[in-house]
Structure 1
Amino acid sequence: MDEQQAFFSRELLRWYHENRRDLPWRRGHNPYYTWVSEIMLQQTRVDTVIPYFERFISKFPTATALADAKEEDVLKAWEGLGYYSRARNLQAAAREVKERYAGEVPDDVAAVSSLKGIGPYTAGAIMSIAFNRNEPAVDGNVMRVLSRFFRLHDDIAKPSTRVKIEKVARALIPDGHASHFNQALMELGALTCTPKSPSCLLCPVMEHCEGRLAGEELLLPIKTKAKPPKPEVRFAALVEGMGRHEGQLLIRKRPDTGLLARMWELPHVLAQKQTSKGSTTQEAAMDQVRELLFQEGIHAEPVEAYCDAEHTFSHIQWQMRVYRCKALSEMALPPGYAYIEREHMAEYAFPNLFVKLIQGYFEEQQSVRNG
């Protein structure tokens, strides 16, 4: 380790011991807690994750408890975090841990890396944070910090750059301090060496930061822009029940595979014209909703436009217009459909878009009843 590397590692650890956040998954060295937190933190802010983590651990305190749980209970506990394949992969991997390792996360990088949903970063995080192994854990924060400090002009969107930075990070890990060092590196990127407004004057390693000295701290890291998500216009049916289902809403379960698999939602259909919300007339849109209900075997009629909503996934953006519909009979529901009351929402796992829509509807109806 040369002088610049030694300076970086020494000063970063000193800073971390004085400034680290008190996070629930850092209390002790529970590998399962580390694993769950790292999966939750993918694409999600720390402040958002904390209450989810605490609720999740209270429900599923061990890998075995998670392995034995019903999938719908796991998805419900994950509701609102998004990227639901993370929850499914986490449970599938927990079942592997239960069957192959007696419910204990293995202290072996190859074994951990073989678990479903665990890539190089998560494996490195678990091995270093929980087991203090000298394994790099390179995420976006780490790539940004090291690109700036060592003035690396490689495109961090390329896999080859990640491999290069992993080698740089591995060389920086002080023997016996992998757990704190890797967390310190992540912490620096999260709190100080931030994407748009780095707090260079507060940075513990600013003295030898080559990016700052060259005036390139705002230019680095280099990253090619990802393609924007493709917009999809969709029409949803908000079907109000009648008779014994009065005050209830109709929901359906998504298919067993694909996007948001086995979660619940309002029935909806991809618009035949997708250029913009204004490209389909109101009458034509209601005809498409009417056809959706007919094809699904739902005896209901669209009444009026209710609201608009949007949700962006990594590759598509749903631009959804919701139509209020009235049930025409107390029909026998097709498979995969159910009527729910507000009090029963906790029994179903919904994508966040539909949580907001359905809760908003029930709150509005309650307000009407209360005058």
Structure 2
Amino acid sequence: MPTRRIAVTGSAEYQALGAGGTLAVDHWDALTAQIGAELSPAHAALFAEPQRDAARGEIDWYAEGSGTAARADTLPEAEREALLARWHAMREEIRALAGRIGSRPDASSRFMATLIQAALTLPAPEARNLWRIDGRPVLVAWGHERAGVAAAAETLTGRMAAADVPMQILPPPAPPVPPGPRLWPLVAALAGALALLLLALLFAWRDPFGLLRPQESACVASPEDLAALAGLREASEREGALRRELARLVTDAAARRATCAPVPAPTPVAPPATAPEPPRNADLERAAREGGQTGQLQIVLAWEGNSDLDLHVTCPNGARLFWGARRICGGELDVDANAERQMSSPVENARWATPASGTYRVEVMNYAPRGQNAVPFRVTIRQAGREDRVVTGIGRAGADRQPVTTVEVP
């Protein structure tokens, strides 16, 4: 997960592109994984990672790299043209990849090809959204157009509006022929009309080509098939209602569990001669297996599944320790699960060897739901001189950082 912010764009200035109600920027992980696997990691690194902030109405763009980040329109002309040429060459290679993916028979490949085509769109002028980091091109505001000029859905799916038919100018009608003194033209017209009528009646009576016979239906569903289809539809609706009710009950039970007060520990009859061993905690052992270190203050976040939950801790001085700032205010986030590396038992570990005194605020964010919109989690707090404390909660998709608890360090 890139940790270096290089640019910020506003939703009022740019309009996101996509297809089928899905925006390309919401599929950065899948797009870069597909491009990196079928072309190269350098092609995938073209696209900076978007982080949308709904409260500010802006998108933060992150990229990897340690060198100076320079926007293309601020470079000398020769360097700018070289950077643009490299971006154009890589764009054509990605566009050709989208064509190959789109020709595959499955619907998911065709949908991915459409999103890749949308991602290749940059707001004009493109030099303002092209950056150079460590000598390579990086795009921000990709998959966007300036507000008011974004491509219509027909353009994104390959359909084009019909061309207007030019108006044809006809000459004025010929003047009527003045009637002559003879009646034979009228008689001839009546005779012709009578002959046509007789032919039509003969055609309708004999119907030599069978044009007037009723056509048989090519395929007629039987009443049994229609009844079975109706029963299947009703069963599917009942199953959907039961699944929704089950999900509601599970969510309510988890929420009630999170609000329960912890059971107070019993008062010991007599203090032991030596300090007791801390109680066994499976989440602390999970963090230790993944390389998590300990200290005078250790905060561990654990959950189940492939969702990406993030641990955020705000220190007394206002600085925030999270995946984007892993070493700050004397602490370190040394284990980060399900972002760059998937874990079977996901865990995140933050620790302070000697924490500063004051209040530490603990928050959790469901950063990437991956099909789990409500993820139960556990936060274990181990503090020197105090008993371990476990707080539970639910990480909800679409929510910002959710407050969990506070830690007081004297």
The alignment's TM-score, normalised by the length of structure 1, stands at 0.25
Determine which structure has greater relative contact order: mean sequence separation of CA pairs < 8 Å that are 6+ residues apart, divided by chain length. Answer: 1
Relative to total residues, which structure has the larger helix share, 1 or 2?
Answer: 1
Rg bigger for which structure? 2
